[in-house]
Amino acid sequence: MSDPLSEVIRLLSPKAIYSKGISGAGRWAVRYAEFGQPGFCAVTEGRCRLAVDGEAPVILEEGDFVLLPATPAFTMSGLEPAPVARIDPTTVPPPDGEVRHGRAEGPPDVRQFGGYFAFASPDAGLLVSLLPRMIHIRGVPRLTQLVSLVGEEATRDDIGRDLILERLVEILLVEALRAAPLEEARPGLLRGLADSRIAIALRQMHGDVERPWTVPELARAAGMSRSAFFDRFVRTVGVRPMEYLLSWRMALAKNMLRGGGMALDEVARRIGYGSASTFSTAFSRHVGLPPGRFTRSAA
């Protein structure tokens, strides 16, 4: 059976990992501008406060893990009020050693390991929109261990480093997403996969993308009436079934076209179109470029 979550993560192609140790003591607060790239942190000691724009503030404690798939602006601080220092991660060069906030001397009140990476896929915006805006997980030691492994590997200069980092980050993402508290997740892929009926339809679409699916066929596969399935899909995933299928097909098509060496009619066949011309029309409408021009611009 197809695993839509793993397929989405593979297509996102996480790369370019940067990680650092962060600590804070006394009164401190930092405000990070919107970054857009996925960021993460694992608290290894103490407590601090995290306020992500658009989300309720949370107290992070030892053992907590946070993933922000598209890192919006946020404020991190100690537990006492303090003047806010503003940081723009797009212009500030990465520090060489551990970042220290607040009192420079003495033991820290909180210590964490955090960082960010990039999604190589040009469809990252579309795919990330299917994920929760903020994932806060407690009591999963595997995530802290994975973050530590990512940090250790990122500082090495050995052969195979980039490949190992890619695999570690893929594992980190899968672990974080499947451990996410789904009752708090907004409509998206995770909510859909947590719904036993909708998950059947999602796996069918991913597992047989060539098939000319219709809403009635997907509803039958899920064991529901057409109208009940349609409403439930929109409510849990956040988009209409055929809209989701089209977006996934076009993401796959773009990935094939960027690879080069595949005839247009073969790309069309692999994602469920009967002819290259029908596919070209749909691709141009969805992407804004005909397939040939897209391939040349990607190259």
* Residue 275 DSSP symbol: S
3-state secondary structure (DSSP) of residue 106: coil
Place of tokens 């790309």: 267
* Token pair listed for 120: 């190589």
Q: How far is CA 210 from CA 28, 203, 204, in A?
A: 54, 13, 11
Over residues 111-115, mean pLDDT: 89
For 260, phi then psi, to 5°, come to 70, 170
On the 0-12 / 13-18 / 19+ scale of CB atoms within 10 A, 49 is: middle
* DSSP notation for 115-178: EEEEE--TTHHHHHTTS-S-EEE-S-HHHHHHHHHHHHHHT---TTHHHHHHHHHHHHHHHHHH
Compute the distance between CA of residue 118 and CA of residue 15 in angstroms, rounded to an integer: 5
CA geometry: angle 43, 48, 49, nearest 5 deg: 120
Over residues 79-87, mean pLDDT: 94
Helices then strands, counting H and E runs in the chain, come out as 12, 10
- pLDDT tier, 183 (very low <50, low <70, confident <90, very high otherwise): low
- pLDDT tier, 10 (very low <50, low <70, confident <90, very high otherwise): confident
* Token pair listed for 114: 């955090």
- pLDDT tier, 31 (very low <50, low <70, confident <90, very high otherwise): very high
Compute the distance between CA of residue 299 and CA of residue 295 in angstroms, rounded to an integer: 6
For 147, phi then psi, to 5°, come to -60, -40
* Closest C-alpha among 237, 250, 127 to residue 185: 237
Find the range with the poorest average confidence among 53-57, 98-102, 163-167.
163-167
Q: Which has the higher per-residue pLDDT, 180 or 52?
A: 52
Beta bridge partners of 39: 68, 116
pTM score, two decimals? 0.80
Over residues 31-60, mean pLDDT: 93
Find the range with the poorest average confidence among 14-23, 182-191, 226-235, 283-292.
182-191
pLDDT at 144: 85
CB atoms within 10 A of CB 134: 24
The radius of gyration computed from the CA coordinates of the chain, to the nearest angstrom, equals: 21
Over residues 66-93, mean pLDDT: 91
Asked if residue 143 has pLDDT above 70, the reply is yes
Beta bridge partners of 25: 102
- pLDDT tier, 297 (very low <50, low <70, confident <90, very high otherwise): confident
Instruction: Give the rounded percent of residues in the chain with a pLDDT score beyond 70.
Output: 97
- Give yes or no for a contact between 260 and 295, defined as CB atoms under 8 angstroms apart: yes
Find the range with the poorest average confidence among 163-172, 232-241, 249-258.
163-172
Asked if residue 50 has pLDDT above 90, the reply is yes
Asked if residue 184 has pLDDT above 70, the reply is no
On the 0-12 / 13-18 / 19+ scale of CB atoms within 10 A, 138 is: middle
Which residues 6+ apart lie within 8 Å of 283 measured at CB? 250, 253, 289, 290, 291, 294
pLDDT at 1: 54
Asked if residue 79 has pLDDT above 90, the reply is yes
Instruction: Give the rounded percent of residues in the chain with a pLDDT score beyond 90.
Output: 57
Over residues 191-210, mean pLDDT: 93
Of 86-90, 284-288, 295-299, highest mean pLDDT? 284-288
